[in-house]
């Protein structure tokens, strides 16, 4: 029996994906695969074996690579200061694939926060298109947007992440106020364990350190099993050791398949990501990949 490795299958899929992107028809892609001798290999393996190999190795790879979780085109955001019009974003075009860990960098006033808010459906662009998880979301009503935020997006802010006078557990459960999920409490406890705060579960915000507060925020962001986690300067108020802890938590979450988009202005924080997008004056000035997805 042929030994077909994960890498072999990956390269096949990359090939298919790139061909599709470059506008080749499915028929011509199949023709070229035949020429390369791949069809014989796959047929010889048998359909069920292929499926087994895929489910064993490549479940995440498949969904992560075939689909853009975020696709924005020509997004502009303008503000009016009295008569004067100022642009926060000038025609941004950006695709983020499932499973990526992206940082958005830029000096203050570069539009990175505005972009973040638009990505998180907290704000709407003045013009342009935004496809989130394959769905156009620009024209959604405010309650439909709230639903997307609730179920598909997890937020971690720089500050005021926790409800005052509320325990860690109830903070993590907050999103379930607006959408009932079965066995919410068990899930919350499981997530709190993942962020290593099980012993603080019944503590309130004022009994926690800055790093612990951010861990609670991450746990809450994970509660609804979102498509993406948006983190706005999540380490902005933390010392370097604690920051490292939060960043490794993000990495761990990302390795489990959750897309993470993080806004920061600190280079050493940004370097933990797989991809760095730099903004200046409302435009993308560089887009650099550090690690494969």
Partner 1 sequence: MNKLIILFKQSIRSIFANKGRSMLTMLGIIIGISSVIALVSLGNGVNKMISEQISQLGATTLTVVPGGGFEHGEGFGRDPSIASTLTILDLETLKNREANPSIEAVSGMIVAGSIIKINASEIQITVNGVSSEFFNILGIGINSGIGFDQFMIDSRQNVAVLGLKAVIDIFGQSNPLGQTVVLNKKEFRVIGVMNSAPENQFQNPNEYIFIPLTTSSDIFGVNNLNAIMVKIVNENEIERAKKDIKTALLVNHNIANENLADFSVLSPDDLLSAVKQITGLLSSLLAEIAGISLVVGGIGIMNIMLVAVTERTKEIGLRKAVGAKTSDILIQFLIESLLLTLFGGIAGIVFGFGIGQAVSKFINIEPIVTLNSIFLAVGVSSGIGVIFGMHPAIKASRLNPIDALRYE
Q: Which residues bind partner 1 (CB under 8 A)?
A: 117, 120, 122-123, 142-143, 146-147, 149-151, 155, 157, 160-161, 163-166, 174-180, 220, 224
For residues 101 and 229, the answer to whether their CB atoms sit within 8 Å is no
Q: Which segments of 160-255 does DSSP mark as H helices, in order?
A: 168-173, 184-194, 210-222, 240-255
Give min distance, CB of 113 to partner 1, in A. Answer: 9
Give min distance, CB of 154 to partner 1, in A. Answer: 8
Give min distance, CB of 267 to partner 1, in A. Answer: 25
The dihedral over CA atoms of 142, 219, 101, 144, expressed in degrees to the nearest 10, equals: -10
Q: Quick one: 99 or 128, whose CB is closer to partner 1?
A: 128
Q: Quick one: 215 or 275, whose CB is closer to partner 1?
A: 215
β-pair partners for 204 = 167
Q: Quick one: 230 or 276, whose CB is closer to partner 1?
A: 230
| 3-class secondary structure, 263 | strand
The dihedral over CA atoms of 259, 262, 268, 272, expressed in degrees to the nearest 10, equals: 0
Please tell me the distance from the alpha carbon of residue 88 to that of residue 281, in angstroms, as a whole number: 7
Cα-based angle 228, 238, 184 (whole degrees, multiple of 5): 40
Q: Quick one: 63 or 151, whose CB is closer to partner 1?
A: 151
Give min distance, CB of 292 to partner 1, in A. Answer: 31
Tokens of 241: 């050791």
Q: Which segments of 22-176 does DSSP mark as H helices, in order?
A: 26-35, 38-45, 47-57, 59-66, 112-119, 142-152, 168-173
Give min distance, CB of 116 to partner 1, in A. Answer: 10
Q: Quick one: 69 or 88, whose CB is closer to partner 1?
A: 88
Give min distance, CB of 216 to partner 1, in A. Answer: 12
Q: Quick one: 34 or 135, whose CB is closer to partner 1?
A: 135
């Amino acid at each position: 029996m042929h030994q077909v490795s994960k890498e072999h299958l990956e390269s096949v899929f990359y090939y298919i994906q790139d061909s599709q992107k470059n506008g080749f028809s499915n028929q011509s892609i199949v023709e070229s695969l035949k020429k390369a001798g791949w069809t014989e290999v796959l047929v010889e393996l048998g359909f069920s074996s292929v499926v087994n190999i895929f489910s064993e190795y490549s479940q995440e790879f498949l969904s992560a690579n075939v689909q853009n979780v975020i696709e924005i085109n020509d997004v502009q955001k303008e503000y009016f200061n009295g008569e004067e019009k100022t642009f926060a974003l000038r025609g941004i075009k950006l695709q983020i694939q499932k499973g990526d860990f992206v940082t958005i960098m830029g000096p203050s006033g570069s539009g990175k926060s505005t972009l973040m808010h638009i990505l998180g459906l907290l704000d709407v662009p003045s013009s342009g298109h935004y496809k989130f998880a394959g769905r156009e979301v620009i024209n959604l009503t405010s309650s439909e947007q709230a639903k997307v935020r609730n179920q598909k997006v997890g937020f971690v802010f720089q500050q005021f992440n926790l409800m005052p006078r509320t325990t860690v557990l109830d903070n993590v459960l907050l999103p379930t106020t607006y959408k009932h999920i079965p066995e919410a409490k068990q899930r919350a406890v499981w997530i709190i364990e993942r962020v290593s705060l099980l012993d603080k579960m019944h503590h309130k915000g004022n009994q926690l350190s800055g790093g612990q507060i951010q861990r609670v925020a991450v746990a809450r962001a994970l509660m609804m099993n979102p498509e993406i986690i948006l983190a706005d300067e999540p380490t902005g108020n933390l010392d370097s050791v604690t920051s490292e802890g939060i960043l490794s938590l993000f990495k761990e979450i990302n390795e489990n398949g959750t897309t993470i988009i993080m806004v920061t202005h600190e280079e050493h924080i940004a370097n933990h990501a797989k991809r760095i997008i730099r903004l200046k004056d409302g435009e993308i000035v560089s887009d650099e990949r550090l690690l494969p997805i």
